[in-house]
Structure 1
Amino acid sequence: MTDSSASTPLPPRNVSAPSDRSADASLLPTSPLDGRLLLHVSVSRLWQVRDHVDTNRGGLVLCGNEAINKAMELNRQGFNAPLLVDPELYTSHVATEEAPFPQTEGEGFSFEDPLFDDPLQMSLYRQRAAGVTAAITPTGYIQAEDSDALLAAARQVNALDDPSVIFAAPVDVGWLQEDDCVGQLIGALNLIKGPKALMLGGQMDPLGRFPQAVGNLRRILASVPGVALMRTDLAVFGALAHGASFGSYGAISSLRHIVPPGQPTQSSKAIMRAPHVLFPELMGFFMGSKIADSFASTDSPLCYCLVCEGDGLDRFTSMLGEHQRQAAAHNVEVMGTWLRTVMAAAPGYERQTRWHELCRAAVEHYPILNASIDQKRPFKPDVQLKRWASLIPDVPLTSNSASAGQRTR
């Protein structure tokens, strides 16, 4: 038995842009997604974070088998923040020049109109029928240097002549290794008239793989107007600081990067005995059991987010449902604090500097903390965090600074 409501699109969603943006008309958002940090979450884990979504600054990106149905349900319940559905075909299908938007089975619709034999059109229709804020293209995984598949996808989206569609570009991080590849990626993304969302593929921490990856991401953000960064980790704050239109942060580690189709997922050898917890001062995720063990002989670090309210970070010590829920909610609240801190600075140099200072302070805190607890297994900063901390923003060249430079010569 099929759900007859699925064939009737819901009314367009009326979601306002973040309310704290500048009143300057030149800085006002051009879409309800602009400046927002969305939470990328599977339907099965939505219960952990649903009540902590910031409707003024955030929103949801649902993924998983029931994402369409859950989006319809949330809309009927009056969910009042941006809501997207990620088709995430890139997790199972590789894009090719012939089929950048792979055909899948079990779409759940049957139409005589040949238009719906097109997997791109079908996916966009199903998302819109669920009442999403904007529809995301069902792009396959774009392998490193496969410019033919990338361009084929871009041309098909442009042929839609619909600037409301978000072009998903799930690319292997190998695209960020060489200058020529970065230039090709920038050129292809700039072909898209509407919004585009970069997603990075690779095992573990993709941006930690190449020394130049973070810098090249910053180059893309500076060169492609309207680009977003989705399904990522710490990098989303760096992206927003460097001009990304919006971003999405993965609620769990598997949603903070893309494992290339056909590859087994690589992970640390540690057994998951507790949920991953954001340690605010270190700007990193650590297992709750690791935090508890490290502070067993000393005072636990306290957190004052709306979930913790002054409780210690050493309490997330098991995979029981309530521990998982509180840890996930804590993580969302900490991310919201970072977002407010970064976006409170003026766009451009000041915002980039604010992000750089946060990363640098976190990196410098590691040796101080490790010395205070004197553990055999110290806390270690992610490679990516150290690279963001080392990327000092360029001072903008103004007429005044140029004149001052001339006078001092």
Structure 2
Amino acid sequence: MVNDRSALYVLPHVPARTGGLVLTGAAAAVTCREIRNARPETVVVTDHGSHTEQIATVDAPFGLKTRWGWRELDVSGLNEVLDGQRDNKASCAVTPTCFIPNDRTADDAVLKAVIHQANQLRRQDTVVLMPCSWHWLERSHLSALAEQIRACRHPVALILQADGDPLERAQVPEGLRQLCRSCPRLVLWRTDLAAFDAMAHGALGAAVGASAVLRHGVAPRPGNGGGGHKPYPVVLVRRLLRYHRVATLQDWFAHIAPWTCDCAVCRGAALTRFTGSDADVVAALQHTVRELYGLHAELDATLPGDERIGWWRQQLADAWEYHRLLASQTDTELAFPKVLQAWRRPCPPALPMVGRRRAQDGPRPS
């Protein structure tokens, strides 16, 4: 998942058979068309980002920011927007769903409204975006969320919102695994390495954010237009299964030889070499994309189920050992992240009640 301004830098590092791009930004539609004209075999879709602009209501679960202001969408308007994505050669259409909050006392009326309206779409080319507060992954709300995902006639792309990493919240890692094991057409959207835990446990796919702001959901805030800032280089350190600022790596390896990387971008160079220059920020992003697809190629080579889960557990065990090695080499106190600790725990079972009720708009197509 990448902003339209960075898409062309990333594209050469995305494998056509197993990869793809989710485009955000004002020029996402134009960039989508250009990429698909040049590489028609590459999966490219767009995300309007409505979930960053407006909170969903029962009467208006979908909407779109336009040059004339905010536009609420009924089924006819929703079809029009989805047709527009396809006219711009998107590989599939993605609903412009607004943000679905949860104040811990709310019922699931808004969730039901999203699915009810989406199920009225008589299309075979649509993914329903479900941008949710992390509270929906708590045990008290998880079954309601799973029931609506299963009731949907279309694949569902789940975004988890939190202030910070949603996977660090209590019950969320376990809840997400249960969703993935219980909802066979679930995609994790706007995420980080949680993509691999999700796919190991049954998710259909995932969209990993190329930048920190695209690696989890954000709640709409009035007047939050965002400010300009100079990007700093961040790299995925595959051995640690963590993203790190290069400045942090430079501190760690100030007195010893730094770790190197053999990806097609780095070609054996040190991970500490990236500066804050525009060229190095782009190169750091390209390195991270290469490392993500290196991991994905290994996952893709495993059989779904126990073999895939076993592969992921081995990656986590290796990361644990590399954390210990790095701490020893650099004489640094290096905590093993809470998220990685959670992923090393045993898998929870699928939700027992999921799939026992009929979909609210009739049976799902096989």
Matched, 1:233 2:188: no
Equivalent in 381, 386, 392 of residue 341 of structure 2: 386
Alignment-derived partner of residue 124 in structure 1 = 82
CA gap 1:181/1:365 in 2 versus in 1, 3 angstroms: same
Paired residues for 1:356-367 under 5 Å:
356-367=313-324
Alignment-derived partner of residue 169 in structure 1 = 130
Number of matched residues? 339
CA gap 1:72/1:225 in 2 versus in 1, 3 angstroms: same
- Mean Cα deviation higher: 57-66 or 138-147: 138-147
Q: CA RMSD in A?
A: 2.2
Q: Which has the higher contact order (CA 8 A, sep 6+)?
A: 2
Is the Cα contact below 8 Å between 1:303 and 1:312 reproduced in 2?
yes
CA drift at 1:360: 2.4
**Which structure has the larger Rg?**
1
CA drift at 1:82: 0.6
State TM-score, norm by structure 2: 0.87
Matched, 1:258 2:217: yes
What secondary structure, in the 3-state scheme, does the structure 1 residue paired with 2:6 have?
helix
Structure 1: give runs of 5+ residues left out of the alignment. 1-39, 109-114, 266-270, 395-409
CA gap 1:198/1:273 in 2 versus in 1, 3 angstroms: closer
State the one-letter code of the partner of 1:299.
Answer: A
CA gap 1:64/1:364 in 2 versus in 1, 3 angstroms: same
CA drift at 1:118: 4.3
Equivalent in 147, 157, 161 of residue 197 of structure 1: 157
State the one-letter code of the partner of 1:218.
Answer: R
Q: Distance in 1 between matches of 2:191 and 2:50?
A: 16
Alignment-derived partner of residue 77 in structure 1 = 38
Alignment-derived partner of residue 29 in structure 2 = 68
Q: Distance in 2 between matches of 1:123 and 1:341?
A: 37
CA drift at 1:80: 2.3
Q: Deviations over 1:324-382 (max 9, x none)?
A: 1110011011111111122222111110121122112212321221121114xx44443
Q: Deviations over 1:291-340 (max 9, x none)?
A: 12211210110111111111111101x22111111100110111111111
Q: Percent identity?
A: 30
State the one-letter code of the partner of 1:333.
Answer: R
Matched, 1:208 2:168: yes
State the one-letter code of the partner of 2:30.
Answer: N
CA gap 1:117/1:175 in 2 versus in 1, 3 angstroms: closer
Equivalent in 57, 65, 68 of residue 96 of structure 1: 57
CA gap 1:103/1:331 in 2 versus in 1, 3 angstroms: closer
Structure 2: give runs of 5+ residues left out of the alignment. 350-366
Alignment-derived partner of residue 181 in structure 2 = 222
State the one-letter code of the partner of 1:206.
Answer: P
- Mean Cα deviation higher: 96-105 or 180-189: 96-105
Matched, 1:328 2:289: no
